[in-house]
Structure formats: structure tokens, C-alpha cells
């Protein structure tokens, strides 16, 4: 089994209803109503930008000592906004996040926090900001399409202005055993939309409504878009937008 695949190459984020917008919107609604997720062919996040993100930014970031990574902290009232690691039941999992990554100043503040001496890798801020901005544009397009299809498109701009974006970078260590190990247990996301960019290694699995787990194979030109609980909608004339569960295995 494979996820629905939707081509966004003919969609211009700045020009709703132009090009293939209406056609893609219909495909998005069908995919979210039946699967709760889809694979988005998204050339705007170029292979060059992906390489600079994962090889030039993410790799040296996770090579840092744990004490340095723990500086990624947004306060006791936001425990899941920053560094995650040494979590019972999630061996080998680490993650850091930038709040509002599409804003260059937020990425710069993150880099200065992690590398207080200013000696962060060359191109780090440009790679993280460029990737976050590109992914956020896809998120905005999908959210607008969903709201238009539900007949509440006029409320998209106020919602977009009040929304914020969490750009999370995660690493899962490979297990010692030869058999598959669940690294991040089955769950549903609580936000509106999640957009996942995998890097070379398979691991993300999505559960269908009939209980089947579908392995999501990484692609150099696509992203995985998943609906979260905040965007689940039920009405007499509107299909339920629902993601069953997702998990990460290695």
C-alpha cells in the first residue's frame, strides 16, 4: 500500500485559484477524508536545500554535546517546544525545535543560543530558515484549500495571522537488533497540520482506517502532509478529516 500522492508543482502559494489550484484542492480533500494524510510532490523544497539542511545544519547540530542541545528551552510552560531527549520509552530519540522557523530572526536566535560563541556552521541559519519557510508555504496552501472546501475560506487570513509554526529537527538512532523496533509509539498529532521531511532512511509508518500500517518511503522531491486533531471536522455534508495513527520505527 502507498499513500495518495499529490503534485503541487503547478500550485502557486501567492495565487489561489490559479493554475491547478482547484484540481489539487479536490485531491487534497479526497486524500484527507480517506487517508488523513498524503505525499506531496513539492519541488519548491529543492534537493540542494534538503542537502544543505540535513548535511550542513542538522548533522552538526546533533553532533553537539547534550548540554549544548539542552539550551533549546522555551520555559517550563512550554516543555515540548524545545529540546527533547532521554525520554523513558524513547531510547535513541533526540529532537530540537525552532518556534516560528520561517522567521529569519528566530532561526538566528536559535543558533546564537546553541552556539553562544557564534561559531555555528556556515550556512546553518540560511539552510534552516530556507527549509522552514518552504515547508510553511506548503502548510499554508493545504490549510487554505481545506478551509475553502469547507466553505470558510474567508477566515483563512485571520487564522493564518494568528498561527505559529514549530520547525522540529529529530534524530532516531538505529537499533542494535536486526529486527524492527518502534522508536516513537503510535499516536495522533494534536496540531492542525504536520509536514514531515524524511532524509534517506525509512521509518515513518501511517495506520489506515482498516488497521494496516503503511511504510512511508522517503523521496528527494516530496513531503508527507498529515492532518492533526485540531483540524478534524465532522458535519453532515463534510467528510471526516481524520488520521488514524502514525509511528516511527527503525
Q: What is the pLDDT of residue 177?
A: 63
The CATH code that applies to domain 29-249 is 2.60.120.330
CA 222/CA 227 separation, integer angstroms:
17
Q: What percent of the chain has pLDDT over 90?
A: 47
Q: What is the DSSP string of 166-221?
A: EEEEEEEPPPSSSS--EEEEEE---SSEEEE---SS--EEEE-TTS-EEE----TT
Read off the DSSP letter of residue 176. S
For residue 203, count other CB atoms closer than 10 A to its CB: 19
Q: What is the pLDDT of residue 215?
A: 83
Residue 232 has pLDDT above 80, yes or no: no
Residue 167 has pLDDT above 60, yes or no: yes
Of 97-101, 184-188, 200-204, the range with the highest mean pLDDT is 97-101
Q: What is the mean pLDDT of residues 99-105?
A: 93
Q: What is the mean pLDDT of residues 22-33?
A: 93
pTM over 0.75: yes
Residue 249 has pLDDT above 50, yes or no: yes
Q: What is the pLDDT of residue 235?
A: 32
Residue 32 has pLDDT above 50, yes or no: yes
| 124-149 helix and 21-34 helix, angle to the nearest 10 degrees | 80
Show me where the domains of the chain are located. Answer: 29-249
Amino acid at each position: 500500500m502507498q499513500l495518495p500522492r499529490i503534485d503541487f508543482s503547478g500550485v502557486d502559494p501567492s495565487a489561489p485559484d490559479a493554475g491547478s489550484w482547484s484540481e489539487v484542492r479536490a485531491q487534497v480533500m479526497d486524500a484527507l477524508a480517506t487517508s488523513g494524510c498524503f505525499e506531496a510532490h513539492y519541488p519548491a523544497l529543492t534537493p540542494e536545500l534538503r542537502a544543505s539542511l540535513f548535511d550542513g545544519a542538522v548533522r552538526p547540530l546533533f553532533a553537539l554535546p547534550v548540554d549544548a542541545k539542552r539550551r533549546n528551552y522555551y520555559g517550563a510552560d512550554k516543555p515540548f517546544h524545545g529540546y527533547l531527549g532521554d525520554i523513558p520509552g524513547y531510547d535513541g530519540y533526540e529532537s530540537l525545535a525552532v518556534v516560528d522557523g520561517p522567521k529569519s530572526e528566530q532561526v538566528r536566535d536559535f543558533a546564537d543560543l546553541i552556539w553562544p560563541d557564534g561559531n555555528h556552521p556556515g550556512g546553518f541559519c540560511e539552510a534552516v530558515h530556507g527549509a522552514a519557510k518552504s515547508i510553511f508555504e506548503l502548510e499554508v496552501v493545504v490549510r487554505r484549500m481545506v478551509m475553502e472546501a469547507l466553505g470558510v475560506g474567508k477566515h483563512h487570513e485571520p487564522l493564518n495571522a494568528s498561527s505559529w509554526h514549530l520547525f522540529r529537527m529529530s534524530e532516531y538512532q538505529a537499533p542494535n537488533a536486526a529486527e524492527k523496533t518502534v522508536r516513537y509509539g503510535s499516536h495522533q498529532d494534536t496540531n492542525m497540520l504536520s509536514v514531515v521531511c524524511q532524509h534517506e532512511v525509512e521509518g515513518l509508518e501511517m495506520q489506515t482506517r482498516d488497521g494496516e500500517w503503511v511504510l512511508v518511503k522517503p523521496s528527494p522531491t516530496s513531503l508527507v502532509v498529515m492532518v492533526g486533531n485540531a483540524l478534524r471536522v465532522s458535519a453532515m455534508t463534510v467528510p471526516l478529516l481524520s488520521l488514524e495513527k502514525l509511528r516511527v520505527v527503525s
